[in-house]
Amino acid sequence: MPRYREIPLERVMELFIYDPITGILTRKSTNKPVGCLFSTGHLQVSINGKMFGVHRVAWAIYHGKNPDLQIDHINGDGADNRICNLRLATNAQNNRNKPLDKRNKSGVKNVFRVKWSNRITKTFKWRVDVGHDGVKHYITHFDCLGRAVARARQVRAELHGKFANDGRSPVGAI
């Protein structure tokens, strides 16, 4: 698990005001929102010449301590730093809540189109397999994309719990 740079809480409290309802971090001296958009989609802010994720700073201000794990954005929007959208997560849990990979062809996580050959025909089927805690759970092949999608979502919900995300907005997203 990566060690994160300690957020200087006393300095942060001097510099910023955090609104947990809007998720906006404001500099006290200028009364202006802070944070520049980083390539990951997260906002970052400079404190004492070092860059910190606004989501980590927001969590630290709200809870009065440095987060000891990663901070997961429940709705998948890295710039949405409302406290109701932030939760502590292990690296594995955070990865489960990632959006759909842009190379995905089925439109759903863990569903893959594969060639299926037998002696008579060469067709395509949909394969479902879901990874969890370093183990690949092979489900089966389906002729119908809809059935494959339903089964993938069911298995992912069972294995990943509240961190399950099939590339759409999570159920109950904020």
Inside any domain, residue 1: no
Inside any domain, residue 171: no
Query: Do 67 and 134 fall within a single domain?
Result: no
> Among 89, 116, 143, where does a domain finish?
89
Spatial separation of the C-alpha atoms in residues 142 and 126, rounded to whole Å: 5
Q: What is the chain's length?
A: 174
Query: Do 76 and 112 fall within a single domain?
Result: no
Q: What is the pLDDT of residue 172?
A: 43
Query: Do 65 and 108 fall within a single domain?
Result: no
- Residue 118 vs residues 56, 121, 125, 128: alpha-carbon distances, Å: 53, 6, 12, 20
Structural domain for 43, as ranges: 9-89
Inside any domain, residue 173: no
Question: pTM here?
Answer: 0.70
Domain count, the chain: 2
Which residues of the chain fall below pLDDT 70?
1-3, 116-123, 131-132, 134-135, 137-138, 160, 164-174
Query: Do 85 and 125 fall within a single domain?
Result: no
- Residue 4 vs residues 8, 52, 129: alpha-carbon distances, Å: 12, 9, 32
Nearest to 53 by CA among 12, 84, 102, 92: 12
**What are the tens digits of pLDDT across the range 24-59?**
999 999 999 999 998 888 999 999 999 999 999 999
Q: Which CATH number belongs to the domain containing residue 57 in this structure?
A: 3.90.75.20
